[in-house]
A = this chain, B = another copy of it.
Amino acid sequence: MPRIVMKFGGTSMAGIERIRSVAARVKREVEAGNQVLVVVSAMAGETDRLVQLCREAAALHDPKEYDVVVASGEQVTAGLLAMTLQNMGVRARSFMGWQLVRASGIHGNARVDAIEGAMLDEALNGSTVAVIPGFQGVSEDGRVATLGRGGSDTSAVAIAAGVKADRCDIYTDVDGVYTTDPRIVPRARKLTRITFEEMLELAGVGAKVLQVRSVGLAMRENMPLRVLTAFDDLPGTEIVPELGEEDMERNAIAGIAADRNEARITLTGIADKPGTVASVMGPLAASGIHVDMIVHAATVGAGSSDLTFTVPRASLAQAVSAIESSGAVGNGRILTDDKVAKVSIVGVGIRSNPELAAKMFDTLAERSINLLAVSASEIKVSVLVAEEEMELSVRVLHTAFGLDAPQGEAA
């Protein structure tokens, strides 16, 4: 009998009416002959309310106590969904994170180590739907541990892998993964199929459909995902290990991502000698600041160099302070710019076709868009542009790479 995990986000669980509609969807999968596990988020807004209570209680609070407080939201929706299913004549029971999900690492941002599958097997083999609160488990010291915001996606994938499910369906408030943000490009298209790698790159550069960690985990576990809307009966997007023959017609580029959450730091006139970059990156890493794009250019003959890189916009002040106190800049200067954005093309086609990067640069150059930095991975090319040129960049790239939906077929 096929075994599936269905995960529902906070918008789908916001209130009893919506929970009833989720239950109806679960019932359909049961009646279609599936063994079903459901992973639920807290009601929309509830986690924010609980986080706010923690902040009011203590600006700096013990993450172990934070976990106890915020984990309660999913406990409530799990119990409510189980009783709603029972009321519709579907056998169901809730499990708590501490009964099933062993986690470790930092409280408030723990990772899943193992799923206690025996209890779940017993329920599923007894035709009972297992309803499980997302976002939480039990730490090695026996305390409630949460997985970080958005962690319910990761719970769902970990549980799917733990019970050897055939598939994990992520129901959310969008109906799939798009070629780009439809608010920027109204003719963005929903993708039928995308690879894990592509999804990881799209998630990492700002497409917020799925939590990045959950995609990485699905890739490692080879667990097929589907992203679907909980509010309609539309096909959604499949996330698969690799594209098949049926995807031959798909574009080499899967999508275009844009991310305003970047700030640029440029250090000018710093020493041009081995170890300079390391002397800057070291203090940033020690402060837990993630550095993204890095460009290092020596000024010929001057013995000095310029170093440009990006950090998350929210970490800009902290990054500057870490660099200043490290003394790594010497007589150089620190320039910052938080009015920048990163635009990326993502697609498995990039691996085999270097022309795609060239086409990206040409397309932007034709519109006189200035590239502040460039970085690339195997299946992604990113450029840093002025924030005011971000939307234009996305639009012209979307058209250039043939991603625009035909007229009348737009999202």
Give which listed residue, B58, B75, B86, contacts A58 with CB less than 8 A.
B86
Report yes or no: B61 in contact with A83, Cβ–Cβ below 8 A. Answer: yes
Q: Does A72 contact B (CB under 8 A)?
A: yes
Q: Which residues of B contact A322 (CB under 8 A)?
A: none
**Contact B57 A87, beta carbon cutoff 8 Å:** yes
Give every chain B residue within 8 A of A210 (Cβ-Cβ): none
Cβ–Cβ < 8 Å partners of A62 in chain B? 82-83, 86, 93
Task: Check if B93 sits within 8 Å of A64, measured CB to CB.
Answer: yes
Kindly supply a per-residue 1/0 record for chain A positions 133-155, scoring 1 wherever the CB is within 8 Å of any chain B CB and 0 otherwise.
Answer: 00000000011100000000000
Query: Residue A57 contacts which of B19, B75, B93 (CB distance < 8 angstroms)?
Result: B19
In the bound complex, how far is the Cα of B68 from the Cα of A59, in angstroms?
29
Whether B65 pairs with A50 at a CB distance below 8 angstroms is no
Contact, CB under 8 Å: A75 / B75 = yes
Give a binary string over A165-178; 1 marks a CB under 8 Å from any B CB, 0 the rest: 00000000000000
Chain A contacts with B in 44-61, Cβ cutoff 8 A: 50, 53-54, 56-61
Interface string of A72-86 (1 = CB under 8 A from B): 110110111011101
A318 at the interface (CB under 8 A from B): no
Instruction: Verify B64–A69 contact, CB threshold 8 A.
Output: no
CB-nearest residue of chain B to A88? B58
A374 in the interface, Cβ–Cβ < 8 Å?
A: no
Per the bound structure, the CA–CA distance linking A73 and B73 in Å amounts to: 10
Return A13 CB to nearest CB of chain B, in Å: 11
Residues of B within 8 A of A96 (CB): 68, 98, 143-144
Q: Does A34 contact B (CB under 8 A)?
A: no
Q: How far is the CA of A99 from the CA of B142 in the complex (A)?
A: 8
Residues of B within 8 A of A20 (CB): 57
A393 CB-CB contact with B under 8 Å: no
Structural contact, B66 and A53, CB atoms closer than 8 A = no
Q: In the complex, are the beta carbons of B66 and A83 less than 8 A apart? A: yes
> Complex Cα distance A80/B84, Å?
30
User: How many copies of this chain sit in the oligomeric assembly?
Assistant: 2
A314 interfacial contact with B, CB 8 Å: no
Tell me which of B19, B53, B68, B79 contacts A68 (CB under 8 A). B79
A229 at the interface (CB under 8 A from B): no
A184 within 8 A of B: no
Is the beta-carbon distance between A87 and B58 smaller than 8 angstroms?
A: yes
A305 at interface (Cβ–Cβ under 8 A)?
no
Contact A84 to B57, CB < 8 A, known contacts A65-B93, A144-B96? yes
- State whether B79 touches A69 (Cβ < 8 A): yes
Nearest chain B residue, comparing its CB with the CB of A98:
B98
A285 CB within 8 Å of chain B: no
Find out whether the CB atom of B57 lies under 8 angstroms from the CB atom of A83. Answer: yes
- CB-based contact A58/B84 at 8 Å: yes
Contacts of A81-114 to chain B: CB distance below 8 A: 82-84, 86-87, 93-94, 96, 98-99
A95: nearest residue on chain B (CB-CB)? B143
Quick check: A65 and B94 within 8 Å, CB to CB? yes
- Asked, given contacts A61-B86, A82-B65, whether A16 binds B76 with beta carbons under 8 Å apart, the answer is no
Whether A53 lies near B69 (C-beta < 8 A) is: no
CB <8 Å contact, A72 and B76: yes
Nearest CB of B to A21, in Å: 13
A residues sitting closer than 8 Å to B (CB atoms) are 16, 19-20, 50, 53-54, 56-62, 64-69, 71-73, 75-76, 78-80, 82-84, 86-87, 93-94, 96, 98-99, 142-144
14 A-B pairs within 8 Å (CB atoms) are namely A19-B57, A20-B57, A53-B80, A54-B80, A57-B84, A57-B87, A58-B83, A61-B87, A62-B82, A62-B86, A65-B94, A68-B94, A72-B72, A75-B75
Known: A57-B87, A62-B86. 5 other contacts (CB 8 A): A61-B83, A62-B82, A62-B93, A68-B76, A72-B73
